[in-house]
Amino acid sequence: MFTKKFEKILRITWFIVAFFLTIYLGYAMWKDNAEPLPHILIFTVTALLGYVCVNVLVYRSPIVSNLLGMSANIGEIYTHLLFGNVGMACSNLYYFMTHVFGLILWTKKKNQDQEGKIKVSKMNQKALICTILFCIIGIILMFFLGDYFFKKDSSPYILLLNCIAFMIGVSAQFTMIMRQPFSWVLWSISNLVWLSLNLISHNYIFAVQSILYEINALVGIYKWYTDSDN
């Protein structure tokens, strides 16, 4: 079992690595003129907001996590559309909407423990149905509008990976908002798909983010399942 001291050291080390890697990659992009400076600033700030968000989510923060999540989602939607990953952009649109719902749901006293952290809970059938419908509609739109969103010379596997990223990401977000430990298992799978897409589209800041998110997801699996047992 992790001690509180070890967890604190792990969180600080993880964020320091994330911070300096993001700054370095942003500087490298600027130096190589890979993207306009405003774009690089958006990528960098968005990635840093995302790091703080997922870190506090692991430790079940009801307010800060959702506010940071919404802030990061705005930048992520723009970034993923810029790199042609519409499935990931649609996922972030869903994340933004559910963070609003999460902010309302998680701040209710009945959903918090004595320390003010969110409790682990059961599935909500209505929300599950809405999530499934959102997945179906999103995949249909990506299928029929694929030629508009993706380059004509792109591999069909790009569209397939975007559809997979969308389905897993939406499912992970839903189960997390519903306070399910299994959400972190889905996030772990999602991060691997997002890593592939980010590497293919040469979005290296977000590729590194996917790797660091994977580490955070593994910690989340341990923490949330341990907390649910307690």
Inform me whether the pLDDT recorded for 149 exceeds 70: no
* pLDDT confidence band for 120 (50 / 70 / 90): confident
SS3 state of residue 145 = coil
Check if the beta carbon of residue 134 is closer than 8 Å to that of residue 170: yes
Inform me whether the pLDDT recorded for 195 exceeds 90: yes
pLDDT greater at residue 168 or residue 49: 49
pLDDT confidence of residue 55: 86
pLDDT confidence of residue 82: 84
Q: Which of 56-60, 87-91, 197-201 has the lowest mean pLDDT?
A: 87-91
Is 67 exposed, middle or buried (CB count within 10 Å of its CB: 0-12, 13-18, 19+)?
Answer: middle
Check if the beta carbon of residue 15 is closer than 8 Å to that of residue 58: no
Q: Where are the domains of the chain?
A: 4-229
pLDDT confidence of residue 154: 59
Q: What's the rounded mean pLDDT across residues 111-121?
A: 80
Looking at residue 50, its amino acid is G
Is 103 exposed, middle or buried (CB count within 10 Å of its CB: 0-12, 13-18, 19+)?
Answer: middle
Provide long-range contacts, Cβ within 8 A and 24+ apart, for 17-25: 17/212, 18/47, 18/48, 18/51, 18/209, 18/212, 19/48, 19/51, 21/208, 21/212, 22/47, 22/48, 22/51, 22/205, 22/208, 22/209, 25/204, 25/205, 25/208
What average pLDDT does the chain have? 83
DSSP string, 189-202: HHHHHHHHHHHHTT
pTM comes to 0.82
